[in-house]
Structure 1
Amino acid sequence: MLKRIKWYILPVLLCAITYPQMLLSQDSLWAGIPAGTYQVGEKNNIQNPLRKVTINSFYIATCEVTNGEFEKFVLATGYITEAEQYKDALVFEPGLEEFRWITDSSACWRYPNGVSRGDIKDKMNHPVTCISYNDALTYCKWAGVRLPTLEEWEIAATAGSRSRYFGKVTQRNVHLYANIWHGNDHLLPDYSDGFLYTAPVASFKPNPLGLYDVLGNVFEFCSGSLPRDNGRKVAHARGGSWWCSVNACSFFNTKDIGSVNPHASFSNQGFRVVKKIL
């Protein structure tokens, strides 16, 4: 079995020099981020040092790509995801020890937790999962969009805040903004927020720019690389997921960056897209 599933944790901090603000878009599905110079990274962080980055303006989707949107892509192109090809997607069910996952040959975007755990028939407004980085890139090419860079995602998600969250969000009230795991461990199912796995997009409060689910629901792929990659082909993702808890992972913030093999597919892994402001 391919050993391509481990997430490597690296916290990064953002202090905005130019503060993001909502720009007018043609509809409510996109939030505009103005061009400018922003400060990202943190002091004494070898992998992500404190630095200034200059970006062009862009629109970022207010929600993660859904099963319904991905289905349109598949119907139009006949695309077969890597999880369907390799039959090696990793899924979760309560009862597993921390950071343990199950390789399920039946799992794919249509059956994100395996055939035995149900399909997406009634979940077309949930974020698509069991998507590899390469799958996400292929979708973006078809849709005429792209993945946000690591810096773009952080600037938009933090919305000008210098904290690990945004606005007045803390670890105590993050559950109002994110679909995360509330149990002390993963041995028992957690329905405390109404969802065991993914939730419909925009089920929780948005950040100040109108972006939903940046702190939870699914990890979101971003483009770009880190010094620690050392030339390796590594994909990176940001935000938290429904699996993340205070006691395990704690990725429900705007700072940490995860790394995974570009071919890997998880049931808590999806993506959000951006496009140019014309």
Structure 2
Amino acid sequence: MKVLSVILLLFLFSFRAAAGDSSFIKIPAGTYEVGLKGHVDNPLRKITVRAFLIAATELTNAAFEKFVLATGYKTEAELFKNALVFEPGLEEFQWLDDSTAYWRYPNGISRGGITDKMNHPVTGISFTDALAYCKWAGVRLPTLDEWEIAARAGSVTKYFEDVTPSTIGRYANIWQGLDHLQSDNSDGFMYTAPVGSFKPNPLGLYDVLGNVFEFCSGSRPRDGGRPVAHARGGSWWCSRNACNFFNGVDIGSVNPHASFSNLGFRVVKDQ
């Protein structure tokens, strides 16, 4: 299995230059193993995908601003005043309603805006907002399986090569503290970090295990027909004691119209 993983990585690397854009990584068509044995939401299986190009980084505030300036688009957080934000001192999994929060002020006006954070991932947006951006830009969200293939980079475990629970801080912006009652700046960032601040996975994708959760398209078996959006990877809020989703296997779900300050996306182009 180790040999097969190495061969797969070499195969994938051979296509990177062919993408024609260093900000995108080409994933060739083929059959891949996804999921994990015994995982309820993401069981081990093989799937076949067409070739696609996936962004090396999460979409930034600067990129989203271009969309807004060109179209006059209003996000759902601006329209519905329903964004959820975080500040240290909250119990686990508690968030605050803040009617002033949206992508320019992802944690609310009182906690500062993005003027000096244009190279950070855009947050404070909903799944619907992400789809609107994609339609304008001529791109799309990765499917759940595409995201996993690219993020795991040939690994047959939850983590790609060289990542362990003790080394994940080199690859991901996550919450290092024991809880969320006290602020955590131990990795230099309490909230989001500029995209690409941490080491990439073996294919050259940054922040797949942390910084912000990333919206994906598609559904998983247990959705039951209810409207739901899915997100993958980890976020700056995720810690070992709460959430713990900073891996390539787990799949999160959220209301399609909800906006959080730890939720963004990266885009895909069809090949």
TM range (shorter): over 0.9
* 1:31 correspondence with 2:20: no
Residue matched to 1:19: 8
Residue matched to 2:232: 238
Q: Is the 8 A contact 2:151 2:248 kept in 1?
A: yes
Q: Is the 8 A contact 1:16 1:38 kept in 2?
A: no
Q: Is the 8 A contact 1:176 1:205 kept in 2?
A: yes
TM-score in terms of structure 2 length: 0.94
Q: Is the 8 A contact 2:26 2:54 kept in 1?
A: yes
Say which SS state the counterpart of residue 19 (structure 1) adopts: helix
Distance 1:229 1:210 in 2: 32
Q: Map Cα deviations across residues 18-48 of structure 1 (whole Å, 9 max, x no partner).
A: 8351322222101110100012223344543
Counterpart residue identity of residue 44, structure 2: L
* 1:176 correspondence with 2:165: no
Counterpart residue identity of residue 230, structure 1: G
Residue matched to 1:11: none
Aligned length: 263
Q: Is the 8 A contact 2:232 2:248 kept in 1?
A: yes
Distance 1:199 1:175 in 2: 13
Deviation of residue 243 (structure 1)? Answer: 0.2
* 1:259 correspondence with 2:253: yes
Q: Structure 1: any 5+ residue segments left out of the alignment?
A: 1-14
Which residue of 149, 153, 162 maps to 1:155?
149
Residue matched to 2:56: 62
Q: Is the 8 A contact 2:27 2:54 kept in 1?
A: yes
Distance 1:97 1:31 in 2: 39
Q: Is the 8 A contact 1:18 1:38 kept in 2?
A: no
- The structure that is helix-richer by fraction is 2
Distance 2:45 2:162 in 1: 25
Distance 2:252 2:197 in 1: 24
1:1-278 alignment runs, 5 A limit: 19=8, 21-22=12-13, 23=15, 24=17, 25-277=19-271
TM-score in terms of structure 1 length: 0.92
Q: Structure 2: any 5+ residue segments left out of the alignment?
A: none
Q: Is the 8 A contact 2:62 2:119 kept in 1?
A: yes
Say which SS state the counterpart of residue 8 (structure 2) adopts: coil
Q: Which moved more, 1:33-42 or 1:189-198?
A: 33-42
Q: Is the 8 A contact 1:36 1:56 kept in 2?
A: yes
Say which SS state the counterpart of residue 85 (structure 1) adopts: helix
Q: Relative to 1, partners in 2 of residues 1:45 and 1:214: Cα closer, same or farther, differing over 3 Å?
A: closer
Pairwise CA RMSD of aligned residues?
1.5
Counterpart residue identity of residue 194, structure 1: G
Q: Relative to 1, partners in 2 of residues 1:228 and 1:18: Cα closer, same or farther, differing over 3 Å?
A: farther
Q: Map Cα deviations across residues 152-180 of structure 1 (whole Å, 9 max, x no partner).
A: 00000000011211011101000000000
Q: Relative to 1, partners in 2 of residues 1:258 and 1:17: Cα closer, same or farther, differing over 3 Å?
A: farther
Distance 1:18 1:33 in 2: 14
Say which SS state the counterpart of residue 87 (structure 2) adopts: coil
Distance 1:87 1:207 in 2: 36
Say which SS state the counterpart of residue 37 (structure 1) adopts: strand
Distance 1:66 1:43 in 2: 35
Q: Map Cα deviations across residues 182-238 of structure 1 (whole Å, 9 max, x no partner).
A: 001001110101101000000000000000000000000000101111111110000
Q: Map Cα deviations across residues 118-154 of structure 1 (whole Å, 9 max, x no partner).
A: 0100000000001100000000000000000000000
Q: Percent identity?
A: 70
